[in-house]
């Protein structure tokens, strides 16, 4: 269990498929945040949310999920509060943030949680973000750092 974070850390989970261009926004923002080596912040980059993250979530005081969404719209980056769904419906290798929070409650109280949703425009096959998504990733990074400071 040495991989579990210390109680009270902020857990940032960037998720998405990096082989579908802008769908890799979540992992990209998470990696940029991890490079800053912020104290009491634990960063995970994953292809998809899996039940195995629940124990680690239960140890966090704040969870920040970062994911791409189809854009554009007026708000290129949005932040929404997440609450655990009631009883978790988790497939063997995939979950949504609310179901994962519900599963985390098996280990103890689920942390406060938010979803940072970042607009992308190119979700075709390939690697690398579009210019639109790259600009939005920088906006998201600033917002997540603000959440960490205030959370």
CATH number of the CATH domain containing 144: 3.40.50.1450
In-domain check, residue 112: yes
Tokens of 128: 């690398």
Tokens of 1: 């269990």
Tokens of 45: 């980059």
Contact 80, 112 (CB under 8 A): no
In-domain check, residue 128: yes
- pLDDT of 146: 94
Domain span holding position 146: 9-150
In-domain check, residue 4: no
Cα distance between residue 149 and residue 147, in whole Å: 5
Three-state DSSP at 82 gives: strand
The whole model's pTM is what?
A: 0.90
Cα distance between residue 62 and residue 19, in whole Å: 29
* Residue that the structure tokens 């579908």 belong to: 20
Number of domains in the chain: 1
* Residue that the structure tokens 């261009």 belong to: 21
- pLDDT of 92: 52
Per-residue pLDDT of the chain (151 residues; tens, 9 = 90+): 344 444 589 999 999 999 999 999 999 999 999 999 999 999 999 999 998 899 999 999 999 999 999 976 678 999 999 999 866 555 555 678 998 999 898 888 889 999 999 999 999 999 999 999 999 999 999 999 999 998 6
In-domain check, residue 1: no
In-domain check, residue 3: no
- pLDDT of 1: 34
In-domain check, residue 107: yes
- pLDDT of 105: 87
Cα distance between residue 67 and residue 87, in whole Å: 23
Secondary structure of 14-44 in HEC code, one letter for each residue: EECCCCEHHHHHHHHHHHHHHCCCCCCEEEE
């Amino acid at each position: 269990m040495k991989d579990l974070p210390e109680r009270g850390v902020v857990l940032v989970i960037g998720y998405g498929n990096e082989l579908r261009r802008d769908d890799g926004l979540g992992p990209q923002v998470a990696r940029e945040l991890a490079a800053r080596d912020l104290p009491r912040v634990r960063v995970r980059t994953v292809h998809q949310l899996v039940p195995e993250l629940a124990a680690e979530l239960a140890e966090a005081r704040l969870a920040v999920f970062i994911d791409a969404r189809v854009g554009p719209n007026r708000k290129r980056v949005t932040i929404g509060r997440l609450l655990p769904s009631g009883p978790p419906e988790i497939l063997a290798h995939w979950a949504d943030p609310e179901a994962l929070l519900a599963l985390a409650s098996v280990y103890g109280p689920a942390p406060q949680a938010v979803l940072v949703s970042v607009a992308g425009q190119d979700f075709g096959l390939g690697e690398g973000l579009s210019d639109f998504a790259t600009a939005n990733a920088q906006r998201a990074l600033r917002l997540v750092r603000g959440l960490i400071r205030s959370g």
